[in-house]
Amino acid sequence: MRSCRVLSRTNEMDRMALTAFILWVFLSAGLVGCGGEEPEPQAARADVIVIDTLSRFGALEWPPVTFKHDYHTSALREANQDCSTCHLRDAEGDFSLRFQRLQDDDPETVMNTYHEKCIGCHEERRATGLSTGPVVCGECHRIEPRFVSSACPMGMDHSLHQRHSKASGDKCETCHHAYDPSAKKLTYEKGKESSCRDCHGDRTEENRRSMRAVSHVYCIGCHKEERSNQRPAGPVDCQGCHDLEQQKKIRKIEEIPRLHRGQPDAVFVRPASSDLALSKMNTVPFDHKRHEGVTQTCRVCHHESLKACRECHSVQGMPEGRGVTLARSMHDPASDRSCVGCHDVQKSAANCAGCHSLIPNGAMSDMTCQVCHSGPAPEAAREGGLGEAAVVILPPKATMTTIAGQKMPDKITLGAPSDLYEAAVFPHRQVLDGLLEKTKASPLALRFHAEEGVVCQACHHNSPAGVKPPACASCHTNPSREASLFMPALQGALHLQCIGCHLEMGIKGGAECTVCHAAKLSVK
């Protein structure tokens, strides 16, 4: 009995060894890039789609498949075939984004659909001598895929919107509609057009398709129809919309007519009437018309809907605004949709970054609040009170220019000479005048730097605004190169501030010592 058990275990071990050997041969032949060989360099393509559909049913047993969509549509076009080869039409006659199915019934059906249709097509082409794709598991299911997606999101900016509006003969109902639940149909109401994303979210819900679905079905469908009628139209492939270089080639309209939707020219930014008792700040006169001209799309600010901010963001936060308070929605430095966050993004421009790159994100001077909060108290601007006619956008103050007439040194000697270099001679007046000129060229900078002495805080960053700030050595007293992380010594502070500014502003040779220091002549 014992010998039989030993024999049985031996046979079992032989079967395991044989299975392991067969698996090794299979992996070596099929799973290219799964190990053992140096991985191939990955190519980035805008049309790469990752097929991981089975992940919605549970963990994947094999790596997902990277699919080159444009590559396949091009092959189909050469064979006089179209989208219907891979995509079925739904009850409304629109193509489904799923491959050869309208819905995902169960994992086995979905898997078999891909295996039978994809491999079957490849085998048919191979039999006729045409170029084709893989038929072995490991050539599709690769741990190290040959291609990665470089797709960039596509949006409708003001320029592109104007071109579509003109092409449609200003028929806004072509794209803009709303769903009437009582009539159970799509309707259009002029003057109440909204962004597509206000209704179509990231996922399909009940009878409301996702933004991705409606964009690919209707936008591409319209482009294809226009092309079939021999009329100029937009792209119909992935690269045409989602490739960064192709996006840069999209023609821009320089003079874009204002998009009228009943919006005000100017408005008081204030809390809702129910929150007036909780508000502690004066209202903000907001130049809506001017901001329309410097943004690419209304969604820069109106990210969920075209309603007023206060309808979703209250003083204490509410579900409609995902708990984000009104104050945070305007002041969050980490969000490019907030006023402060958007303005911080503008500071990355070369003319601004020299000063602002070394200032903490979102940091503001003592006078910044009153630049915006210059309107009446919230009670005076409540609904039924002061209207749009009362909104006065005051021009920036001109006091900044008086700095030019102030008495201050033209040049300053910074630091002490070393064995190799002379002390740095800082052209104080020249630098200040340059900053003033750059500030005047920007309406945004002019408004926030109008108070006298604010521009001086570019270098005198921890001093009160004024034309006679204390010298650098007043704070950076330690003579050594390093003192602490938050208070570097004089030499470290000067190098950090000056070289940092030069690099951010793109000054030629900005990090070279001889830009500031004259080299000493060698003495024998």
pLDDT tens-digit series, residues 442-458: 888 888 888 777 888 88
What are 47's two structure tokens? Answer: 């049309």
Phi, psi (degrees; rounded to nearest 5) at 67: -115, 125
**C-alpha separations of 350 from 5, 211, 461, 506 in Å:** 80, 36, 19, 7
pLDDT of residue 523: 47
Residue 490 has pLDDT above 80, yes or no: yes
Residue 41 has pLDDT above 70, yes or no: no
pLDDT of residue 40: 58
Question: pLDDT tens digits for 245-281?
Answer: 999 999 999 889 998 888 888 888 989 888 888 888 8
In this structure, of 296-305, 373-382, 400-409, 437-446, the range with the lowest mean pLDDT score is 400-409
Yes or no: say if 476 and 415 are a contact pair by the CB < 8 Å rule: no
Superfamily of domain 266-390: Cytochrome C3 (3.90.10.10)
Strands 266-269 and 284-287: antiparallel
For residues 408 and 469, what is the distance between their CA atoms, to the nearest angstrom?
11
pLDDT of residue 215: 93
Strand (E) or helix (H) holding 65:
strand 65-68
What are the residue ranges spanned by the domains of the chain? Answer: 1-30, 38-149, 158-248, 266-390, 399-515
Question: pLDDT tens digits for 209-218?
Answer: 899 999 999 9
pLDDT of residue 31: 43
| Amino acid in the structure at residue 177 | H
Closest C-alpha among 198, 218, 200, 196 to residue 97? 218
pLDDT of residue 141: 95
Instruction: Using pLDDT thresholds of 50, 70 and 90, give the confidence band for residue 364.
Output: confident
Residue 144 DSSP one-character state: S
pLDDT of residue 405: 64
pLDDT of residue 465: 73
pLDDT of residue 106: 93
Longest dimension (CA), the chain: 110
| Amino acid in the structure at residue 105 | D
Task: Kindly provide the b/e burial profile for residues 478-512, where b requires at least 16 CB atoms within 10 angstroms of the residue's own CB.
Answer: beeeebeeeebbbbbbbbebbbbbbebbeeeebee
**C-alpha separations of 55 from 104, 119, 136, 349 in Å:** 12, 21, 21, 43
Question: Cα angle at 261 between 258 and 265, to 5 degrees?
Answer: 65
The mean pLDDT value for 487-515 works out to: 87
For residues 422 and 514, what is the distance between their CA atoms, to the nearest angstrom?
10
Instruction: Using pLDDT thresholds of 50, 70 and 90, give the confidence band for residue 384.
Output: low
Residue, of 403 and 35, whose pLDDT is higher: 403
Question: pLDDT tens digits for 330-352?
Answer: 999 889 889 999 998 888 898 89
User: Does the domain spanning 38-149 belong to CATH 3.90.10.10?
Assistant: yes
Tell which CATH architecture fits domain 158-248: Alpha-Beta Complex (3.90)
Residue 21 has pLDDT above 60, yes or no: no
- The average confidence (pLDDT) of the chain is 84
What are 121's two structure tokens? Answer: 């097509």
Residue 471 has pLDDT above 80, yes or no: yes
Residue 375 has pLDDT above 90, yes or no: no
| Amino acid in the structure at residue 34 | C
Q: Express as a percent the part of the chain with pLDDT over 90.
A: 40
For residues 185 and 9, what is the distance between their CA atoms, to the nearest angstrom?
70
Q: What top-level class would CATH report for the domain 399-515?
A: alpha beta
